[in-house]
Structures are given as structure tokens and as C-alpha cells.
Amino acid sequence: MEITGSNPVGGTTPPRNPPHAWDATRIRTSGRRVQKWHPWHPEVMPIAVVAFLTYALLLLAGLGLTLGKIVEQATAAPVTLQGVVWMALIAACIFTITLVWQRKEAGRGFAVGLSTMLIPAGPLIALTLGNWLPGLPPVALALLLIRGLRGAPARAWLNEQ
């Protein structure tokens, strides 16, 4: 039985695409029309922000991979200093990535703070291995990240309140 134009209960069926239906091409942001297949933020992400997000995601992956050792320690003692530090680092890393991804202005300060963690890693690596050369890349990366995040392109891109 085919019903066309009428409802079995009574009345007519509503049209398939009413004019008031939600349409992605009708969204208005800041007074200009956003079209399909066009990004919300057409600006290109600065290389310093790309480098920071890469560093932060690798840091988060490294913290996650070493979490097994922390969980093993938790069986002996429920709270350990290393466990608290690891959880704080994971939380700070996730929070900073979220702020930078959302282009928040506060994310720049958190990103600079997370980048400074590499500075003590250089001397620690150098003292552990007994050679100063392996300690240079982390310090150089930290200084480049901090310099890039404090620059005008990163400041202009991280501008949301």
C-alpha cells in the first residue's frame, strides 16, 4: 500500500526537506557565510605550533608507554611520588594540547611551560651518559620551541579568548 501526500491518521505528511531544516551552508559566524568544504579557520597553523603539538603528542605517548611501571609500583604502595608526578605530567600535557588545539590564548603560556621540561633533560642525559653531546638536542629543541611559541605568528594564531 503506497501512501502519497496523506497521513494514515489524517492530514498530510510534512515535506521531506522543509525550508527551516538545518543546513550547514546557512551557518553564520562573524557576519560572513561559511560554505561547505571550507575550514572554520582558513589560516595556516604556524610551524612553531605544529612542532609543539608534535612534541606534546610524543611526550604524551612516551608517558603512556611508561605508565605500566607506575601501575606496578601502585600495587606495593597506593601513592608514590613518581606516580603523582606522572599523573600531573599526563594531565598537564592533555590540558595544554587541548588549549593549543582550540587556539586559546592561554595555551601559549602552558605550551611554553611544557616546553621548558626539556631544558633539565639535556644535562640529565649528559650526566647519565658521561658525554655532553647527547644532551644538546633536548636543550636546543626546548629553546627553539620557546622562541617559536613566543613569536608573532604563534601569538597571532593563538588568539581565542
Q: CB-side exposure of 36: number of CA atoms within 13 Å?
A: 3
Q: What are phi and psi of 36, to 5 degrees?
A: -60, 145
Rank 33-37, 52-56, 130-134 by mean pLDDT and report only the highest.
Answer: 52-56
Indicate the pTM of the whole model. 0.70
DSSP 16: S
Beta bridge partners of residue 36, listed in sequence order: none
The reported pLDDT for the residue numbered 95 is: 97
